[in-house]
Amino acid sequence: REILRKEMDKRKIPISIGKTCPVKCTFCYEIDHTYRQTEEPGRTTQDEWNYILDYISKKPTRPNENWVWGGNEYMEWTDLFLHPKAMEWLEDFLKYTDKGVTMFTVGYVHVPKIHQLATKYPNRINFELSVITLHKEYRKALMPHAPSISHLMKVLDGPAVTSANFYSFDSGTMSEDARAIARLNPNVILWMGCLTPLKGMDENTVKICRRGKQTLPEEAERVYETGIPNPTTIHTEPYITAFLNRYKIMSLFDNLELDKHDTVVMAKSVYKILSMYRKKRARFLY
């Protein structure tokens, strides 16, 4: 149970389905595990859940803090709502603790149960729904084992979902998805952008991601022209985000007060910024 305690000390709720994620999204960053070591515990039992719930209950509750549904600090990430007792245990967590929870899923939640829990325990669930796309062609190519679009719409049609993320893959993809979701739920936060090609992705997925990057500006313009009522945010690729935040990055680096000969190891996007403004002070992660 050491791995469980390590996750819980990081404010994670370490449920395991006992195998790698069966959804097999082709864009998932967990395709390549060379960047970190992960554990794959067996499927969580009722006895283990009782231990987890008791351990968490004894932890102090901090204001505005949410526990993350699933251990991914040391364990491999997977869609934990595929566990047959996930909904039952989520209700246990809300009933027997006073803590909030942040949960991620591509949609494997029971409807109407998830909406009933959101109503019964208001402001306790931060539900981030990974819609990815509502377009059948791209959905089949990128996440062939994900829930159906009709089920996703039922998940969105109610008080449970806090935010929905979906992306540009071509003209008329992200913008149409935004309109469809807004018609159904004008309160959900819309997280949009494009997916970044990563090591380990197949050629077709990389091609789709790059096409999405090309069409993102026009898709973003279409979203804003529709005047939908939802709160919206559009994310770009990491290097653009890093450049837009370059002054904050430099300020944080300077506040570290490192010795002149000390270097920091950074991911590529931040490394480029520091290489421009703080020469020879950063090293590339890979």
What was the pLDDT predicted at 245? 83
Low-confidence ranges of the chain (pLDDT < 50): none
> What pLDDT shows up at residue 35?
59
> pLDDT at position 59, please?
95
Is there a contact between 249 and 274 (Cβ–Cβ < 8 Å)?
Answer: yes
Q: What is the pLDDT of residue 286?
A: 53
- What structural domains does the chain harbor? 2-235 (3.20.20), 237-286 (no CATH)
Which residues are bridge partners to 266 per DSSP?
284
Q: Count CA atoms closer than 13 A to 144's CA, side-chain side.
A: 3
- pLDDT single digits (tens) 236-261: 777 777 887 888 888 988 888 887 77
User: What pLDDT is attached to residue 32?
Assistant: 66
Tell me the pTM.
0.83
Beta strands in the chain (DSSP E): 12-13, 66-69, 100-105, 125-132, 163-167, 189-193, 232-235, 264-266, 282-284
